Structure formats: structure tokens, C-alpha cells
Amino acid sequence: MRRPIVRLSLVSLLLLGVLSGIRAQEAQPGKDEEDNGYSQISIFAKAIELIRQDYVDGNKTSYHDLVTAAMKGMLSSLDPHSQFMDPNDFRDMQDDTRSRFNGLGIEVSMKNGLPTVVTAMEDTPAAKAGILSGDQILRINGISTERMDLQDAINVLRGPTGRKVTLTLLRPSTKEIKDYTLERAEIKVQSVKGVRLLDAELTGPFKIGYIRLIQFNEPTAEELSKALDELQKQGMQALILDLRNNPGGLLNSAVDVCAQFLPPNTKVVSTQGRIASQQHDYSTSGVKKERPSFPMTLLINEGSASGAEIVSGALKDLHRAILVGETTFGKGSVQNVMQLPDGSAVRFTTAKYYTPGKQVIQGNGVTPNIRVAMTAEQERALFALRNAENVKPEDEKSIIKAKDPQMLRAIDALKGVMIYAQQNAPKAEAVKK
């Protein structure tokens, strides 16, 4: 004979605050009768008590464990970027903006139900091993990721330094499945790298600067400004800004990066959600350091995401730069993080990003003006170059010429723009007179 359920009232009391908050909504006219918050929470509470009463393993049925599991399932069912974070996960997320954490150096997102590499950050174990954007993680330490939520995957990838993690990856472009055994390390992300004038053998009579942005964190815009100052002192006439494999970061940082190239008070991105508070326009600062409007190209690929897509979309739509490469990742949504009383937090999508030309980034990405694909072999060569130490300039030049068609097309595009400007400058001057 089934024992009576005796704890339903306890759960109901625990949920009373939630119920009182939604009962007012139930009374609204036209509300769907089946979507009644009070009745649905009651069903949920009953399910918890049935599990606590009869489930075979009693050590798995604490209220904390069951409610936490339900919260994880609820958030992950919404979209790949919404998630529940326990207190430790929440602290780890806060560490991201400080440009330092322990792990493998992989930025991941859920795609087609599997944790997928957005990018392997430079100078990290993942990048040095040759892991590429788009690689799908099938197993972590032999455990299938098919039913693993994003936060659980991230928790395994991160952790104490010196410990090894084995990843089984599928590379969709080649259908290759391969195991990678990586050792966790402290990841220190430098946001601006590779600042230099490109070799004259590549650029001809023009001085073309090059800057690579690794991600968008708190000091990125300031570091970029200093890099531009240095290149201008060297006589830079045009710029290649490399956003390939940049996974994004802070929204304000991306807007401040746009401000280095656009007039003051220029709208670079907007957000739109269900409620009025989620409708925002983000514009460059009203104060800008004066810079010449030199020709620009941006290098993008599938590993360019979030903040990198905001910058790419803005500079493309506002005709400030030519985009060269491949369509970006397509991560263009806004997540709000709300801390809960126990130190945990819920992160959920509240809006989508729109470029100045009203293009939706989420799921679509930003398309280049000049599409140039790279093979997996070329990408591996580029990764090896970026993660090598003490690379000689002549070796770097040879790799660019042989293995980086995107860079070569970007250089050609800038040379074409500058040649055209030179040829038409006297005509423009004559018209003025």
C-alpha cells in the first residue's frame, strides 16, 4: 500500500513567495487557463515529493539537489546561452572579465546539442594542441557530452592547474574524430597582440598596420588606443584589425573599441527584447581622440563571436571598414545575470543585438564583404604561428604568403583603396578650385 505524501505542504510553503508573485498574473483577463502558475507549481511540488518518497537512491533526493537540477533543466531548455549557476559557477563567471582563470583556454557554446568550440584562445593548451573553432566536443574524460549542459562542460574544462583533461573532438569540416589530452594551466589573456607595420614585401609602397584583438575585456580599448598611437608615429596609412577567433567579452569594451574608429555619439549596436527596459541603443562616447580616417579591413571567421560581431557589424554597416574572411559565429543575444539569495545565479537571454543596419546577429552572424575561406591545414599553420615563441620575421612573412589567404586579400583590398585614392586626389582638388 502506498504511503501518504506528507511533505507537500512543506514544499508549498517554500514556494509560497513564488506563488504569491504569480497569482496576480493568473487573474489577468485572457490569460491562458492551462498556463496557470499556481497549478503548475503545485504539480512541480507533487513531483518532487513523489521522487523523495519512492526513488530508489535516497542520497540523490535532497530538496537542494532536486530543485537545482530542475533549475538547470529549466534554463537550458530556453536557449544555448541561458543557464543556472551555483555559487562557484557564478564566481568563475565573474573572474572571466578579469582576464585570468584556470583551464584549457577553450571558449565553448552549445550548438546542435553539443558543446562546440567557439575559439581556442592564443597561448593556451588548447591552441597549442591545434583545436579549432567549430570542433564539437563528443566526450570529456570518456564521458559523453550528449546530455551534458553547458555549465557542467565548462566546470570540467576549468579547474586546478596541472591536471589533465582528455577531449574527444569531431571536426565537422573533415569528419575527423580525435582525442586530445591537455593539461590545465593558468590562462592570462592579453587582449591586444601582434602590433606592427607589415613587411614592405607584402604591402608594397604603403605602410599598413596590423593589430590583433584576442577578446574584449576591461583594458582592451585603452590598450588598442596605445597601439594605434604607436603605429601612427611609425607613419601608418591603413590598418588591418584581426578579430579572427575573438570570442567576445564585455559589451562596453566592444563599444569603446568602435569609438576608436567612428565619430562621437555614433550608434553602433542596439538591443531589443520583450519589455521596454530591454530596448537600448549603445553609442560611442561624446569625447573622441582625433585620428585620421585611414582605410581599414577587419579579418573575421567562425571563431569571431559576440563582441567581435558587434564591432564587425557596426564598422561594416557604417562603411568604416571592409570585412574579409568568413561568416562569424552568430552569438548576438543579451544575457542578464541575477544573483539569488543563496549566492547562486540565473543567467537568461533578455534581448537580441541588432547592427546599425538592423541586421540580427543571433543565429546569422556577420557576413564579410570579401569571402575568403581557409582550409583546416591553413588554420593549423596560422595557430602554430600565433602560439610559437621567437618567430623570425622572415618565417612569419613566408607563412602569411603560403597559408593566410585572408590576410593577403585584406592587404590587396587596402592597397586597391589607397591606389584609387591617390589617382583621384588631383581630380578632387581640381573640382574644389
Catalytically active residues are 306, 317, 331
Residue given cell 544555448 in the structure block: 80
CB 87 within 8 A of CB 343: yes
- Among 349, 352, 275, 276, smallest CA distance to 309 is for 352
C-alpha cell at 318: 557604417
SS (H, E, C) 28-59: CCCCCCCCCHHHHHHHHHHHHHHHHHHCCCHH
Query: What's the rounded Cα separation, in Å, for the pair 7 and 5?
Result: 6
Query: What's the rounded Cα separation, in Å, for the pair 215 and 304?
Result: 9
Query: What's the rounded Cα separation, in Å, for the pair 137 and 340?
Result: 31
End-to-end CA distance of the chain: 102
Query: What's the rounded Cα separation, in Å, for the pair 105 and 99?
Result: 11
- Among 224, 256, 253, 220, smallest CA distance to 239 is for 224
Which residue type occupies 7? R
Query: What's the rounded Cα separation, in Å, for the pair 325 and 65?
Result: 46
β-strand partners of 59: none
CB 189 within 8 A of CB 217: yes
β-strand partners of 334: 351
Q: What is the DSSP letter of 326?
A: S
Distances, alpha carbon 261 to alpha carbons 193, 194, 224, in Å? 18, 19, 11
